Structure 1
Amino acid sequence: MEVRVHNDHKDMDLAVIGALEDWKELIGPASPVYKGGGGHPYNSIPISIPISIPECMLDRLSIVTYATEFAFLQDDSYEGSFEETSFPTAPNMINEGMTAIDDMNEGRAVVDKTGRTNTRGIPSTKNARKIQAWIISKILSIDPVRARMALNAWKSFYESNKITGLAAKEVKISARGSQLPIRTGMLIFACGLDISEHELPLCRDLLRPGWVAFTLVNDVCSFDKEVRDAKKNDNDWTANAIWVISQERGVSVEEAKKLGAEMLNDYAAKYIEIMKEAKASGKCSHDILRFMDGGYWSISGSLAWSIVCPRYNVAKGANFSERQLDWIKNGIPDHLRRGDSMKSAACQLRPACISRG
C-alpha cells in the first residue's frame, strides 16, 4: 500500500503542542509518560493526522489534529498512564461541549481554575468541557453542515465509552466497533466531502473492511503500551483485539499478535478489492470514491505512523524532534502562535454565533 503525507504537515506541531498546553493549563498535568501524536521519524512524518488523512483540507487540518491530540491525552488518562489514578469516567465530549456553549451564552463561567486538579494533583475532568466547547465551536465555524455530521458520529463514540464499573470491560471492547462512525464523520468533515444522508449506509458498507483494518492497525501496534497501562491500573484485560483473540482462541499473546497481523492483511486486501470494483463499476459518485480513497490512506498512513511513533515505540528509541521537545518543555514561542490552541486564541469563544441546530 502506498502512503501519502499532507504538504502542510511541518506546522502541525503547533496544534499538537497547543493541545498539550491547554490540557496542562485547564485540566492538570499530562501523563508522566506522555507521547501523544508527536514524533519525528525520517523528518517526514511528524504527527498522525497529516499522514492518516493526507487529503484533509487546509482550513481544517489544525483543528482535526488538535482534536486528535486531545483524544490521545484522554486515552492516557482513561487507560491508566497516570502514576496514581485515571479519570473516573470518560466525559461525553459532545454533550459536555454543547452544555458549555449554552453556559457561555447565558453568561455562566465555564472555566474554574481552582478545580483544575484535586489535592493530589491528579487531573480533573471539570475543565475538559471548556476545551470540548472550543473544538466544537471551531469545527462548526469552518463547515457547519459537515461538522454536524461529524458531531453526530463522534457523539455515538463518546457515549459508548462513558460506562464504568462491572460493565466497563464489555463496553470498552464493543466500543471498538464505533470507530466506523467516528472515522466516517471525521473523514467527511476533514476532506469536505459531499455525501448525502441516504448515501451514508452505502459508504459504511463499502468501508467496513477498511475500518476493521484501520482499527487492527491500532490494536496490533498499541497492544504493548495498553498492556503496560492495564497493569498500572490493576486490570487483567485490555480493550484490544489482540487480547480478545488470545482469550477467545486460548493462544499465547505472541500467537495472537501473529493472528491479528494476518487479519489486518486480509481485511486490507479485501478493502483494496472493494475499491477496485467500486471504481470499475462507474456507479459511485466522485465523493464516494474520494471517501474510499480516504479509507485507504487512513490504513496505510496509520500503519506508517504507528510502527515508528514514540507513543508505541519508545522502547525502540523513537522520540520527538528537538523542536517538539523544546516546545513541550518551554512552551510554543509567542511569535508562532496562530490560533491552533485555545491558549493561542486567548481562550476567546463567541458562542452567540453558534447555533445548536
Structure 2
Amino acid sequence: MEYKYSEIIQYDTKGLCLDIPVRKHLNASLEDRGSREARADWEKFVGPLSQNAGAYCQGHSFVAISVPDCLPDRLEVISYANEFAFLHDGNSLSETQENDHMLQALMEGVQQGSIEARESGKRQIQAKILMTMMALDRDRAKVATTAWAKFLEQGSGRENHNHFSTLEEYLPYRSKDSGHMFWHAISIFGCGLTIPDHELALVTEYVMPASLACSLQNDLLSFGKEYEAALEAGQTEICNAPWVLMGEHNCTLKEAKTLCIQRIHEEVKKYLQYAERAQEMHDLSADGKKYVDMMRFTISGNAAWSLRCPRYNRQLQITINEDERLTLDGIPKKLKGSSALIEKSTSPESIASDVSDAGYVTANTDSESDHSDAMSRATIDGVDRPETPAQESKVNGVKPDDIGSSREPLILELDSESGDWSSLGPEEAALAIYPQMKSDSQVVTEPYRYLSSLPSKGVRDMTINALNFWLKVPNHSMDLIKSAVRMLHGSSLMSVRPLLPVNSQYSLTRPFRLDDIEDGSRLRRGKPSTHEIFGHAQTINSATYQYINATQEIRKLRNPHSIDIFIDEVQQLFIGQSYDLLWTSELSCPTVPEYLQMIDGKTGGLFRLLTRLMVAESKYSGEVDFARMCSLFGRYFQIRDDYQNLTSDDADLWLQYTNQKGFCEDLDEGKYSLPLILALTKSPRKGQINSLLVQRRVTGSLTYEQKCLILEHVRGSGALEATKTIMDSLANELEGEVDRLGKIFGEENLELKLIQEMLKV
C-alpha cells in the first residue's frame, strides 16, 4: 500500500502497538496551524480554554500521526475540526446536553430545541468547518458530517456514569464512545476516500479491533486524569477499562493494567489478520482496502500521541520547549477515606514495565518498574460503589401497574370537587355545572403532536439560531419565538383541502381549509399527512387550537408591539395563500410578478415574522431591517422547493424528495409553481398542459402518465433552466444582502452563510 504523504519515524510506543511503526505527515506544520486557529476561534467565539483540553502535542500532534496520509490541502481543516472536537469534549460542563447542541448544528433539523446564547459561538465554528470542507469536497463533507453526528448521537460520553461489570459489557459501549465514527469522518474526507455502501459493514468490521485497541490505549494512559476528575466531581464510577477490570477480577490497578495491555495486543493481532485478508480480496475496492490498511498507523499514532500529550499527562504543559526532557513524575494520590494509593499509572516508564509484564518485550525496557504493587478495588470518596435500589416509579402517586389498559370515560378525567359523576342520572347530569375541560387534552393536540413527531427540514430553527448570533436575543424570548413559529408553521401544514372531484359532496369551491399551505398533500415528510390519519375536521380543529396557543406564546414576550407584529404577518400569510388557492380553483395562471408577490406574503412572511419578533426582543429594536433578506430567502426557499418537486440533477436527491412528497405532487395539487408558470408562457404545448390541469380538477389528481407528459412539456419549454437561472440570481443577491448585514453588525455570520450553502441546488 502506497503512502506518499508521510514517512516512518523512530518512536518508542512502549509496545502498545506491537511492531507497527509510526508514520508522520510530511506537512505536519499544517496541523499545528489548523489547531492554533481552532484554539484562537474558541477563545474568540466560546470562551477561555482549559490548559490541556485540546489534541496538541509538541513534536507529534494527533492528526499528523493518526491520519498520516491525509491529502495536504485537507490536513489543516481536519486538524481544525479535530482540535475543536477535543476542545468541546474537554471544556463541556454537561456532556449529553452539549453533545445534543453539537448534533443539532451538524444535522440541521434532525433534532429541535433551544440553544443558549453561549452555544452560538460553537455553531459559528462548526459552520466554518463545514463551509471549508464543502468548498474542497462537497459530497465527502456531507458524508463526514453525518458520521460525526452519529458519533455525537450514539457515543461521546452519553453513558459515562453507567456501571459496567465486565470488560465484555463495557467494550460495545466504548466502541461507540471512542470516536470511531469521528475518525471515520476525518479519514474519508481527509484522504479523499469513497466507501461504497455495500462495503461499509465489512470494512467497519475489519477496523473495529483496531478502534478498540486505540480506545483501550486511551483508557490505559488517561486513567490518572480520569481518576482525578472523578475525585473532583465526587463520582463513584470511572468509565475506563482498567477500572472495570479491577472490579471484574477483584485485582490491583497494576494487574488491571496488565490485563488491559494483553487485550490491546489481542485486538491489534486480530486487526492485522483482517487487514491482510482485506488486501487479498479481489472484490474489495481500492478505497476500501486503503481504509482498512491505514488504520494500522492510527493504532501506532494514537499510542505515540497518548504517551506524550498534555491532555492525558497534566505534567506536560503545552508551553514546554520541544528539546526539554519530557518527564512524568507522577505523585501518588491518596484516596479520600481510603489508604489505597494510586500508582504512577500513566508514565511511559510504567507502561513499558506493564507491557513487559503482559508478555511483550519492547525495544527499550531499561526503565524502573513501578513500585506500587497493591490496590484493592478502589473506592471514590470512600464509597464502595453501592448498588442503587430500584426506585418505585410513580407519577402523581400512581404506579404504572395501577393504570388500566382500557380507556376510561372522558368525564372521569375531568377534575371536579363534586366527586364521581358516573352515578348521575340523565336529568341530573343535564343540570349539573361542570368545570372546563383540560386544556392539555390529547384529543385536541394529538394531530399536532403527530405532525411534530415527523422529521423536518428545520430551516426556520436554523435561521433563528443563525440570526441570534447577531441579535443576542435573551434565552427566554428565543424559546417563546421558536415555540410560536413552530406552532404557527405546524398548524398551517395541518390545515388542508381534501382532494375530491367537483361532484363530491365537498366541492372544491367549499374547501376545508384555514390557510391550506399543504393543499391536501397525502404525504408529509414521507409519512401520511395528518388529515389522512385524523380526518379533515379534527385536523382543522387542532390546527386552529395551535394558532391560539401561538398567540398566547407571543403575548409572553417583553416587547408590547410583538402581538401587533404577529397579527400583521399572519394576516399577510393568509392573504398570500388566498391568491394561491384562487389561481388553483379557477385554473388561472398568475404572472411571474404576481407569483413572487404571493411568495412574499406566504413563505417569506414566516421568515419575516420570526426576524421582526427577534429584532423587537433585541437591543437593536428599530435599528436594523431584515425585510429584504427575508423576501429573498422566502423566494429562494419556495422556488427551490418548486424546482426540486419536478426535477433534480442528483437522482438520489430526487428519489429522496419524491419518497417524502410524492412524484411531482405539485401537479396533483394543481399548484402553479414557477416552472409551470414559465412553461405555460413559453411552451407551444401549453394547450395540452391546460387540458391536463382541467382533468386534474375533475378527477382530483393526475395519473403517473399524465404527470410525465406535463413534465416532458415543462422540460421541453426550457422552463426548468429558466427557473434555475432565477434561483442563482436570488442566491447571489441573498449573499450580498447577508454581507451587507454583516457589515452593519460588524461580524460575519458564518452560520447563516452555511445555511445558504446547504440550500444551494
TM-score, length of structure 1 as denominator length:
0.75
Displacement of 1:301 in angstroms is 0.7
Shift of 1:216: 1.5
Matched with 1:34 is: 52
Residue type matched to 1:91 in 2? N
Distance 1:209 1:271 in 2: 5
Q: How does 1:259-338 map to 2 (within 5 A)?
A: 259-315=259-315, 317=316, 319-320=318-319
Letter in 1 for 2:175: G
Per-residue deviation, 1:237: 1.8
Q: CA deviation at 1:291?
A: 0.5
Q: Which residue of 2 aligns with 1:177?
A: 175
- 1:187 and 1:65 mapped to 2: Cα distance? 11
Report deviation, 1:56: 0.8
**1:203–1:288 Cα contact (<8 Å) kept:** yes
Instruction: Summarize the alignment of residues 71-150 of structure 1 with structure 2, pairs less than 5 Å apart.
Output: 71-78=85-92, 89-92=97-100, 93-97=102-106, 99=108, 115=117, 124-150=118-144
Q: Which residue of 2 aligns with 1:341?
A: none
- Conservation of the 8 A alpha-carbon contact between 2:216 and 2:260: yes
Unmatched 5+ stretches in structure 1 = 79-84, 101-109, 116-123, 324-345
For residue 320 of structure 1, report the CA deviation from its aligned partner. 4.1
Gaps of 5+ in 2: 1-19, 110-114, 165-169, 323-746
**CA deviations over 1:216-265 (Å, ceiling 9, x no partner):** 12211222112222222222222222222222332222221111111111
1:353 aligns with 2:757: yes
- Greater Cα shift, 154-163 or 5-14: 154-163
SS across alignment from 2:127: helix
- Distance in 2 separating the partners of 1:301 and 1:288: 21
C-alpha change, 1:281 and 1:130, in structure 2 (3 Å) is closer
d(CA) in 2 for partners of 1:184, 1:70: 16
The answer to whether 1:189 aligns with 2:189 is yes
| Residue 25 (structure 1) aligned to one of 31, 39, 44 | 44
**1:161 to 1:207, Cα distance in 2 relative to 1, 3 A:** closer
Contact 1:161 1:171 in 2 (8 A): no
**Whole-angstrom distance in 1 between the partners of 2:281 and 2:106:** 42
Higher RCO (Cα < 8 Å, 6 or more apart): 1
Question: Could you tell me whether the CA contact under 8 Å between 2:103 and 2:153 is conserved in 1?
Answer: no
Q: Secondary structure at 2:40's aligned position in 1?
A: helix
Residue by residue, what CA displacement relative to the aligned partner does 1:88-112 show, whole Å, maximum 9, x if unpaired?
7223324224549xxxxxxxxx9x9
Structure with greater helix share of residues? 1
CA contact (8 A) 2:131 2:757 kept: no
Corresponding residue for residue 151 of structure 2: 157
Q: What's the secondary structure of 2:311's corresponding residue?
A: helix
How do 1:247-262 residues align onto structure 2 when only pairs under 5 Å count?
Answer: 247-262=247-262
Partners of 1:94 and 1:151 within 8 A in 2? no
Output the amino acid matched with 1:243: W
Cα separation, partners in 2 of 1:275 and 1:162, compared to 1, 3 Å: closer
Q: Is the 8 A contact 1:187 1:294 kept in 2?
A: no
Is 1:234 equivalent to 2:234 in the alignment?
Answer: yes
Aligned length: 301
SS at match of 1:90: helix
Q: Does 1:52 align with 2:61?
A: no
SS in 2 for 1:169: coil
What TM-score do you get using the length of structure 2 for normalisation? Answer: 0.37
Bigger radius of gyration among the two: 2
The whole-number CA distance in structure 1 between the counterparts of 2:234 and 2:270 is 38
- Pair 1:87–1:285, CA change in 2 (3 A): closer
Range 61-70 or range 214-223, more displaced: 214-223
Match of residue 394 from structure 2: none
Check conservation: 1:2, 1:300, Cα contact below 8 A: yes
Give the secondary-structure state (helix, strand or coil) at the position aligned to 1:312.
coil
Report the AA paired with residue 6 of structure 1: H
Query: Partners of 2:206 and 2:151 in 1: how far apart?
Result: 20
* 1:8 match: 27
| Residue 200 (structure 1) aligned with residue 200 (structure 2) | yes
What is the distance in 2 between the residues matched to 1:347 and 1:306? 37
Hey, what's the Cα distance between the residues in 2 that align with 1:318 and 1:262? 30
After superposition, the C-alpha distances for 1:36-60 in whole angstroms (9 at most, x for unaligned) are: 222224xxx2x10011000111122
Taking the aligned partners of 2:749 and 2:235, their CA distance within structure 1 comes to 40
Partners in 1 of 2:108 and 2:274 — Cα distance?
Answer: 41
